[in-house]
Amino acid sequence: MLTFHAGSSGQMRCDGVTRRSFLKAGALGVGGLTLADLLRAEAASGLGGSHKAIINIHLDGGPPQMDLIDPKPQAPPEVRGAFGPIPTAVPGFHVTELMPKMASIADKAVFIRSLVGAEGKHDAFQCMSGFSDKNLQGLGGRPAMGCVVNKLLGTPEDQVPAFVDLMQGRPLARNSARPGFLGPAFNPFRPDISHLFHRELEEGMKVELAKLGANHQTPLSLVEGLPVGRLDDRLTLLAALDQLPRSLDSGGNMQASDQFTQQAYSILTSGKISAAMDLDREDPRVVEKFTPRVSDQLASYTSEGPQAALKLLLARRLVEAGVRCVTVSISDFDTHQKNADRMRLLGPVIDHALHALIVDLDERGMLDDVTIVAWGEFGRTPKINANGGRDHWPKVAMGIMAGGGMPGGQVIGATDKNAAEAVSRPIHYQDVIATLYKKLGIDALAVTLEDPSGRPQYLVDQGHPIAELL
């Protein structure tokens, strides 16, 4: 049986039945009732709580942990690098000089120094799902968390999608936010933001992106000159022509088309998403706060400049519009060469962006409802190589979290003297994913999804919500 937890008040209804009792009764009394059914029934009965959401920030390329939140000032020069430690708002906790803004609000954030279980690949999929891309590959692969949220919390009638993917660079070319065995009906809504944020791709990545085809991104505004009445006519025509037996649609493509058509109609005619994506509608003073005053020189041709921080403002606006899960990326942390020079430019961008997002959400009274995570696909080698760079290091990585009602000012886990291995409180990628689900009210250890073979699959298979963050 699935158990859904209400708040401490129990959220009493006018008929004297608590939200918890209502949900438990639903789970027991209706055969085959799914989590999505229960949540929709809850909303229809006026029991809906606050709008919980996730902003998942992928630091594309794998950020060097020792150059950001895990400085090792006593290590040899070839390990400790160029950046010295600075104190934070949490007594005894230091970050590097690249993170002064986050240092000032460290009491509002959680710093994970012992992230383990990395696959060692340049792919955001593990940060999107907790799983290797090979897991259940024969059945279509595991779905990204946002696609699961689409299935569990979204409906075709929604005026905003449950999941919007804003990732660029490698995560876009490798389709990291993919629905896996759930099928195309639960694809992310993926607006093209290249006109706002340029991110040059490596030549090989351009080939990978081309293979996704022209329709891998989703227009989120009405075609100019196409009135709403024309859309109504087209939907009516589609319904009239749709006489093919559903039994012939073994791949689920017809169902996906139906759902996307219905949801696109709701989204396009509401205009909420296109409005959220328009930064000209934001208070210029807020835009200014999200814009770092740092060097706009790029660390490499695949790197992003200061404007990348505004992606997090877009994410906040989407959450404010009703989106449940937003994924964004900032890159390029793949520092095989000139690590110090590249981090000197990239570090302040992510420092400013995270600080601006946390403070902005806090000022709006949204921080307890929105959970933020910033992390990469692996860490970086303790020893600087002959090119002055740091190479891939799957043994241990870093993460920064905030919001979602979690107690801030925490440092979870520790590494050895060279930031090479976790020596206490290892946190698996799946533990973070399970925690994110929990913050949305979804028990990843109890909810299952049916794969194409008919077998139930749990949302994680080895992760548990991080106890310190609940």
Domain containing residue 409: CATH number: 3.40.720
Phi, psi of 414 (to 5 degrees): -150, 155
Which of 7-11, 59-63, 144-148, 210-214 has the weakest average pLDDT? 7-11
Residue from 408, 405, 333 nearest 375 by CA: 333
pLDDT digits (tens, 9 = 90+) for 273-296: 888 999 999 999 999 999 999 999
CA 451 to chain centre: 23
Q: Annotate 233-294 with DSSP letters as a single string.
A: HHHHHHHHH--S-GGG-TTSHHHHHHHHHHHHHHHHHH-HHHHHT-GGGS-HHHHHHTS--S
Q: Pick from 49, 69, 84: which residue ends a domain?
A: 49
Instruction: Find out whether 185 and 298 touch, Cβ atoms under 8 Å.
Output: no
Q: Which of 79, 31, 169 is nearest to 382 (CA)?
A: 79
Residue 85 and residue 207 in one domain: yes
Domain housing 310? 52-221+271-469
Last residue of a domain, one of 49, 68, 86: 49
Give 354-366 pLDDT, tens digit per residue: 999 999 999 999 9
One domain for residues 119 and 165? yes
Distance between CA 175 and CA 236 in Å, rounded? 33
Predicted pLDDT at 28? 36
Mean of the per-residue pLDDT values of the chain: 85
Mean pLDDT within 233-241: 46
| ∠ CA 142-53-402, rounded to 5° | 100
The verdict on 135 and 163 lying in the same domain is: yes
In this predicted structure, the answer to whether residue 4 has a pLDDT above a threshold of 50 is no
Residues 141 and 42 in one domain: no
Q: Are residues 413 and 279 in the same domain?
A: yes
Please state the rounded mean pLDDT for residues 205-227: 71
Q: What is the pLDDT of residues 422-460, one digit of tens each?
A: 999 999 999 999 999 999 999 999 999 999 999 999 999
Between 136 and 18, where is the model more confident?
A: 136
Here the tokens at position 15 are: 């008929």
Read off the pLDDT of residues 79-112 as tens digits, 9 standing for 90 and up. Answer: 999 999 999 999 999 999 999 999 999 999 999 9
Q: Are residues 327 and 213 in the same domain?
A: yes
CB-based contacts of 38, cutoff 8 Å, min separation 6: 2, 4, 23, 26, 27
- Examine the pLDDT at 46 and tell me if it is beyond 60: no
Q: What is residue 185's predicted lDDT score, i.e. its pLDDT? A: 86
Q: Is the pLDDT of residue 64 over 60?
A: yes
Euclidean distance between the first and the last CA atom of the chain, given in angstroms as a whole number:
22
Beta bridge partners of 42: none
Q: Are residues 241 and 349 in the same domain?
A: no
- Quickly count helices (H) and strands (E) in the chain: 15, 16
* Confidence at residue 159, expressed as pLDDT on a 0 to 100 scale: 85
Question: Which is more confident, 252 or 453?
Answer: 453
Instruction: Give residue 272's pLDDT.
Output: 87
User: Residue 60 above 80 pLDDT?
Assistant: yes
Lowest model confidence (mean pLDDT) among 156-170, 246-260, 367-381 = 246-260
| Angstrom distance (rounded) from CA 131 to CA 411 | 24
Give the predicted TM-score (pTM) of the model.
0.84
Three-class HEC string of 138-165: HHCCCCCHHHHHHHHHCCCCCCCCCEEE
21-30's contacts with Cβ under 8 Å and 24+ in sequence apart are 22/47, 27/1, 27/2, 27/3, 28/1
pLDDT at 162 over 70: yes
pLDDT tops 70 at residue 29: no
Q: Looking at residue 393, what is its pLDDT?
A: 98
Q: Does residue 4 or residue 38 have the better pLDDT?
A: 38
What is the count of structural domains for the chain? 3
Burial class (CB in 10 A: 0-12, 13-18, 19+), 191: buried
Distance CA 315, CA 165 (A): 9
Single residue among 239, 270, 301 that ends a domain in this structure: 270
* Residues 422, 444 within the same domain: yes
| Structure tokens that stand for 447 in this block | 């909810």
Check whether residue 354 and residue 250 sit in a common domain: no
> Is pLDDT above 50 for 142?
yes
> Do 303 and 358 share a domain, yes or no?
yes
Q: 113 and 162 in one domain?
A: yes
* Nearest-angstrom CA–CA distance, 261 and 394: 41
CA triple 304-310-311, angle to 5 deg = 75
- Burial degree of 360 (CB within 10 A; 0-12, 13-18, 19+): middle
- Round to whole Å and give the CA distance between 377 and 120: 7
Same domain, 281 and 257: no
Q: What is the pLDDT of residues 113-135, one digit of tens each?
A: 999 999 999 999 999 999 999 99
What proportion of the chain, given as a percentage, has pLDDT over 70?
78
Residue 70 sits at φ, ψ, to 5 deg, of -135, 60
Residue 26 has pLDDT above 70, yes or no: no
CA distances from 317 to 150, 166, 309, 314 (A): 19, 13, 14, 5
